[in-house]
Structure 1
Amino acid sequence: MSPNELKIYEDHPLNAGKQSFRLLHLHPGKGSEQLCATIHVKNLDDAAVEGYTCLSYTWGTEISTEYVKIGGEEIKVTVSLQSFLQHVRQPHETLTLWVDAVCINQHDASEKSEQVAIMGEIYSKCSFVYIWLGAPSSHDSIRGNPFQFIQHFSDNKHYHDLAGYYETSPEQVAFTHNEEFHDLWERFLQVVNSSWFTRAWTVQEVILPRESILCFGDWRSTFDTLIAARRNRNAHLFGPMQCCKESLRAFPKPNSVLFDRFLSQIEWIERFKQGHSSEDNPLSSERMPRSFPELTHRPFYEVAVTFSNRLCSEPRDRIYSVLAMSSSSVMKSYRPDYTAKLVDAYTGAFRLMLEETDHDYRCMIGPKFGSDHPGLPSWVPNFSDVTPLVVVEAVLRRILLSSLFGASGRESGALRSNPKSGLSAAGLRVDTVSAVSSELESVSIPAERLKAILMDWRRLCERSAEPSSEPALRTTLARVICASIIDDGVPLYGVHRGWRRIQTSDLPTVDEWSGFLGGNMWALKEGYRGTFELACTGRSLYVTANGKIGLAYPQTKTGDEVWVLTGSHLPFILRKARTSHGHSDEYHFVGDCYLEGIMDGEAVEGTTQRAHVTLV
């Protein structure tokens, strides 16, 4: 920290425990005039009455060559912040802003912890938030509105109203990648490629404020516009009329995939924004999907999973950055502490996540368990790991749909937490892993790569699995790679939203299966294809000593054990722990899994034998 920065914070100390914070008053100015501001310390409630504006942006690492004058001191800020301040500064009006990089002493861990603890209130009580997505570079030839593509769908227009579409017959359209569409798309990419959509902190910064203004250079839009665009576009594709379904088929596949992923991120933010929107907001809705549908709030584990693809430089911020979105008194008792060890921060947070859901086994669904991070218990997710976007959506749906299964039959039970020994449960060891195949990272891979993985899976089953005949093997493998569930396409808003257990008539035909094994995923029917993606993304196929086939996370190893824990809907992979004190009931937790033939309680029927396991 420079002496000038230190003096600013020394001259404007915060009142610890009094909900005081600093506000930046950006003075009027024009063009290339130096940025000038002053800082004042205010009580949060008083500032809310007077009004202030928050900033949501990504810091970046490049430092500006120009100084910002704050009071009598000149300091340097990042290029990103410098650019924002230049673009929003008014010629005749002072702006009252809260900017974390300036208003918090980032070199004081104690102050930082206290300010992060009230950051949710800072954003909730602001008049509105500026979302800074960046600005065109000086050599950029793009001059039009970067929000025009989004505005097209927000205005409830059709796909075939976009530039590039033309009629081939009265009821059919085709698409050509013409210059007008190229320009439209390149401008849209300025928004999509903004690092703002990748960072962890920006999530709560858009969810908590009442109003948001998107900024790219001098262009403006709102986050509500993005929400409206997503909803309208989906209504055109999946609503009763499905008026744009054929038009989408003509739209370039790479563009469509990128747009889908962008809108998925908007939807995830929208799910949580509903709880912070006023009832008179026209975009308010109670029909957003929930991974824990029977709860009246979204538990913090769902928050953590949903935004686990987001990035941050400080690993503790994997928790702290979204903590303000917790809605239960249990999680609100958790306090950010930048002096805490990472292992303690993660373990403490996850214990509260379990407590919040009454130690629900659904909190144990996901790919982040069984980490080799030093000192981190295997049953605590390594929140530092970034989960790919496609895996996030799959895991959220697996949590929701886990109640379609009943691996432990009608038995009730839950995890038990012990502050000293970790987690414990009762259960039954039902099988042992004998071989594990390669991982399917995503279905959006080249056909040859998909073919190679499927052939690897098939060969593993032929060598080790129970079905001996070709038809029996095909049927079993087809059931496994969709986890014996399917989306029947019925647009329900119930607990499972149209998903159900699979029937024989839902399985691929011989011709469809043959094309699929050749690497052509599009040979499958739409419902089965989507379920294959849900079940297999981020997973490996494995076989057991008893010849059964299943799906598990790639950290699964030969010799791991398949357990049904009492009260759980799904089975789990556990690994025998090698401990110095020789306790035989200690296991490392690897993760949830699917295993054909035991998902409906078959393994626990007719036996009362149960063992006690301690997860370490």
Structure 2
Amino acid sequence: MVSVSPRLKDCLEDDEQDSVDPRFVFGFRSVSLDSSGYEQYEQDDHRPWSAGGDPTANRKKQRLRQSSQRLEQLETFQYRTCADGNLFRLFELYPGVGGRPVEGRLSFEHSNRVERDYTCLSYCWGDIVERPVDIVCDGFKLPVTSNLLAALQCLRKPKSSFYIWCDQLCINQADLNECSRQVAIMHDIFSQAKDVIVWLGEEDDKSGKLCEYARKMRRGEDSPKQTLKRILTPRQLQDAIQKLLQRPWFQRVWTIPEVANARFTIVQIGNDQLSWDNFVRLIKDVPLPPAGGFDKQAALLGNPRQRIAILSQMSASQKAGLRHTDITQLLILGKASKASFDLDYVYAFYGLTWLRTFPDYQMPTEVLYAEIIQYYVNSIRWDASYSNVHDLSEDRRTHQLMSVLYSAGALHQHYTLPSWIPDWTFGWHLAPIWCRASSNIVTASGKDEWSAGVRCDFRAGGRECGEFDVLPGPFGMHKLRVSLIIFDTITITSETTPASTPGAEVNSAMQPDPTMRYGRAFLRTAKGYIGLATPGIEAGDDVAVLLGGDVPVVIRPCGNHDPDTRAYKLLCETFLLDEGVMHGDIVRETWPLAEDVVFL
């Protein structure tokens, strides 16, 4: 039986003799392996018209060019309203596929009574803050960064729209007052979102295989080890994770609160997705490959693995309804991050912490850095509720206070600040002596268990903290009164390793590893100690131990500002090649010599 078209008669008896069945006319859905005679039906791509149906590649390209031309002809978008009070904007992302222009519209939502489901986007603007590409917003052309465009193109749905929040679209970045108001409600925006999507960028460096590995590792299939090895060998797995952790998202300061405040977090790489818990499990279970020399991903504070560990504990803390209180973690993460504005190093943590200063992007950076540290020091010292929230012991309170000083120092500052105030813009560039850079991933509890696991083994200043009081100073740049013991003076500094002290017995376990030596200057003291410190120390600088401190510090006399109290500048932490000094012999033997000094 011959199948005939339903549009034509099934019987040909009534047809006129001269008529010809169109089904047998050349070109009517005919099929031939011979292309001769088809010239009149050929298109631009030299294929027979009868073999067409779907738009050709050239037509697709032509439509994209036309869309781009129409986009260029649109007027530039202007924010005509201000998101003030508890209002924030949402971007309705219209459906689309492929390289078609991203389109949508902005509307307002109220943080106190959210009525629509929406997704928050956590992403990185990129090293270049220019916006070289455009999307369509409310019928106007809105410039955006290339990374955001790639994320929106990947996330949009083919047939339905949905609401999304991202800072680049939903905040008028040119209006500092609006920025301040939006930062103040950032906690509400992210904590009420249906989910937060972490956009790590396009698929690259076996990231697709890595996501497949993580999903099958989670499922616990039969013979999982053999199945996983067929996806990625152990070496390939380590390399893929290392390259993934080098992506810019892991350096941005705003990604910290965005994940910590989220109800549910999804990690997206190209078209592949993972839950945050599954992603953390992957990072936790795969060890670091052995690396020779100085490895930033393992040696520096705030490295990606340590960052993920702190974020996991922060997230658990927020889900338990606990405000974050550990200034040690904030300093480690902040000084290991990048931000477009220097004020963001502090304001990014506004919704996570006990900060009570309303965000103000017109405040001088030095004033903000000084105020936030003074607030934390006073809270740790005098506010019982601060430590009660997370059951902080006296030992942990002391460690948090000392972490402020070890994160500071005149040799670690870009801004003109009191030497005891950390400069959040001065990143970690030396392996720490006062704590470990290990990850110590703790996901089960919202308590501050993470900090206890990274504290170093040294106790040069004993376990009892002395004076640690903020004193009034000019222009809000207050002074700090501390208790310490000055026990030696630097006589020689060198960029090369000095000879050992004649006759000195050195415990082999005390030898500093190459990671600790990297980037540091060597020193010799008047009493013959050999040590390491930040380049910039000079002969005549003093070496002291802070009561309650973990490692010694280098300080520099500032002259006699007060006849009753000596003033110094805090320079940096130091390591001395002497087990007794590093484990508290100086404090036990010379406790009566402790004195109160002022750090300027």
- Equivalent-residue separation in structure 2 for 1:188 and 1:405 (angstroms): 32
Letter in 1 for 2:376: M
- State yes or no: 1:124 paired with 2:199: no
Give the alignment of 1:452-491 within 5 angstroms. Answer: 456-457=496-497, 460-462=498-500, 465=501, 468-469=502-503, 472-473=504-505, 475-476=506-507, 478-481=508-511
Contact 1:366–1:395 (CA<8 Å) still a contact in 2?
A: no
Match of 1:435 in 2: 492
Higher mean C-alpha deviation, range 145-154 or range 200-209 = 145-154
Contact 1:362–1:399 (CA<8 Å) still a contact in 2?
A: no
**Residues 558, 155 of structure 1: CA spacing in aligned structure 2 closer, same or farther, 3 A cutoff?**
farther
- Equivalent-residue separation in structure 2 for 1:269 and 1:572 (angstroms): 30
Match of 1:563 in 2: 544
Match of 1:274 in 2: 316
- State yes or no: 1:15 paired with 2:84: yes
- Of the three residues 97, 105, 122, the one matched with 1:56 is 122
Match of 1:211 in 2: 264
- Equivalent-residue separation in structure 2 for 1:551 and 1:141 (angstroms): 39
- State yes or no: 1:342 paired with 2:365: yes
Normalising by structure 1, we get a TM-score of 0.68
Match of 1:147 in 2: 211
- Of the three residues 578, 587, 591, the one matched with 2:568 is 587
Give the alignment of 1:496-515 within 5 angstroms. Answer: none
Match of 2:557 in 1: 576
Q: Tell me how far 1:98 sits from its aligned partner.
A: 0.8
Contact 1:424–1:613 (CA<8 Å) still a contact in 2?
A: yes
- Of the three residues 279, 283, 297, the one matched with 1:226 is 279
Give the alignment of 1:237-252 within 5 angstroms. Answer: none
Deviations 1:547-597 (A, max 9, x none): 123343334332111223444454322111158899971110113334433
Match of 2:59 in 1: none
Contact 1:201–1:321 (CA<8 Å) still a contact in 2?
A: yes
Q: Tell me how far 1:276 sits from its aligned partner.
A: 2.9
- Equivalent-residue separation in structure 2 for 1:606 and 1:129 (angstroms): 55
**Residues 91, 264 of structure 1: CA spacing in aligned structure 2 closer, same or farther, 3 A cutoff?**
same
- State yes or no: 1:417 paired with 2:470: yes
**Residues 189, 427 of structure 1: CA spacing in aligned structure 2 closer, same or farther, 3 A cutoff?**
closer
Q: Tell me how far 1:543 sits from its aligned partner.
A: 2.3
- Of the three residues 581, 593, 600, the one matched with 2:584 is 600
Q: Tell me how far 1:338 sits from its aligned partner.
A: 1.3
Letter in 2 for 1:299: D
List runs of 5+ in structure 2 lacking aligned partners.
Answer: 1-73, 382-396, 439-450
Residue 586 of structure 2: SS of its match in structure 1?
A: coil
- Of the three residues 308, 311, 320, the one matched with 2:338 is 311
Letter in 2 for 1:337: D
Residue 592 of structure 1: SS of its match in structure 2?
A: strand
**Residues 24, 273 of structure 1: CA spacing in aligned structure 2 closer, same or farther, 3 A cutoff?**
same
**Residues 144, 103 of structure 1: CA spacing in aligned structure 2 closer, same or farther, 3 A cutoff?**
closer
* RMSD of aligned alpha carbons: 3.9
- Equivalent-residue separation in structure 2 for 1:431 and 1:159 (angstroms): 60
- Equivalent-residue separation in structure 1 for 2:311 and 2:139 (angstroms): 40
* Higher relative contact order (CA closer than 8 Å, sequence separation 6+): 1
Contact 2:485–2:593 (CA<8 Å) still a contact in 1?
A: yes
Q: Tell me how far 1:159 sits from its aligned partner.
A: 9.3
Contact 1:36–1:69 (CA<8 Å) still a contact in 2?
A: yes
Contact 1:570–1:594 (CA<8 Å) still a contact in 2?
A: yes
- Equivalent-residue separation in structure 2 for 1:314 and 1:65 (angstroms): 20
- State yes or no: 1:362 paired with 2:362: no
- State yes or no: 1:88 paired with 2:88: no
**Residues 390, 146 of structure 1: CA spacing in aligned structure 2 closer, same or farther, 3 A cutoff?**
farther
Letter in 2 for 1:350: I
- Equivalent-residue separation in structure 2 for 1:412 and 1:123 (angstroms): 39
**Residues 63, 108 of structure 1: CA spacing in aligned structure 2 closer, same or farther, 3 A cutoff?**
closer
- Of the three residues 138, 155, 174, the one matched with 1:71 is 138
Residue 93 of structure 1: SS of its match in structure 2?
A: coil
Deviations 1:505-530 (A, max 9, x none): xxxxxxxxxxxxxxxxxxxxxxxxxx
Letter in 1 for 2:346: I
Deviations 1:214-240 (A, max 9, x none): 222222222211112234446xxxxxx
Q: Tell me how far 1:378 sits from its aligned partner.
A: 0.8
- Of the three residues 378, 383, 387, the one matched with 2:428 is 387
Letter in 2 for 1:148: E
Match of 1:24 in 2: 91
- State yes or no: 1:162 paired with 2:229: yes
Contact 1:309–1:392 (CA<8 Å) still a contact in 2?
A: no
Normalising by structure 2, we get a TM-score of 0.69
Residue 325 of structure 1: SS of its match in structure 2?
A: coil
**Residues 124, 555 of structure 1: CA spacing in aligned structure 2 closer, same or farther, 3 A cutoff?**
farther
Deviations 1:76-115 (A, max 9, x none): 2111111111111112222111110111111111111121
Deviations 1:254-274 (A, max 9, x none): 8xx799765444323223222
Match of 1:201 in 2: 254
- Equivalent-residue separation in structure 2 for 1:271 and 1:393 (angstroms): 21
- Equivalent-residue separation in structure 2 for 1:333 and 1:428 (angstroms): 35
- Equivalent-residue separation in structure 1 for 2:597 and 2:226 (angstroms): 55
Letter in 2 for 1:33: R
- Of the three residues 35, 40, 48, the one matched with 2:107 is 40
**Residues 275, 537 of structure 1: CA spacing in aligned structure 2 closer, same or farther, 3 A cutoff?**
farther
- Equivalent-residue separation in structure 1 for 2:346 and 2:225 (angstroms): 40
Deviations 1:294-338 (A, max 9, x none): x99651232221342222232222222233332xx3xx2133221
- Equivalent-residue separation in structure 2 for 1:28 and 1:160 (angstroms): 37
Match of 2:531 in 1: 550
Higher mean C-alpha deviation, range 575-584 or range 205-214 = 575-584
- Equivalent-residue separation in structure 2 for 1:103 and 1:45 (angstroms): 17
Deviations 1:460-482 (A, max 9, x none): 243xx3xx23xx44x24x35435
- Equivalent-residue separation in structure 1 for 2:228 and 2:454 (angstroms): 37
- Equivalent-residue separation in structure 2 for 1:571 and 1:253 (angstroms): 29
Residue 322 of structure 1: SS of its match in structure 2?
A: coil
Deviations 1:422-476 (A, max 9, x none): 11123332111122344xxxxxxxxxxxxxxxxx43xx243xx3xx23xx44x24
**Residues 411, 324 of structure 1: CA spacing in aligned structure 2 closer, same or farther, 3 A cutoff?**
closer
Contact 1:481–1:535 (CA<8 Å) still a contact in 2?
A: no
Residue 491 of structure 2: SS of its match in structure 1?
A: strand
- Equivalent-residue separation in structure 1 for 2:291 and 2:459 (angstroms): 38
Residue 372 of structure 2: SS of its match in structure 1?
A: helix
- Equivalent-residue separation in structure 2 for 1:546 and 1:263 (angstroms): 40
Contact 1:414–1:567 (CA<8 Å) still a contact in 2?
A: no
**Residues 81, 15 of structure 1: CA spacing in aligned structure 2 closer, same or farther, 3 A cutoff?**
same
- Equivalent-residue separation in structure 2 for 1:90 and 1:270 (angstroms): 30
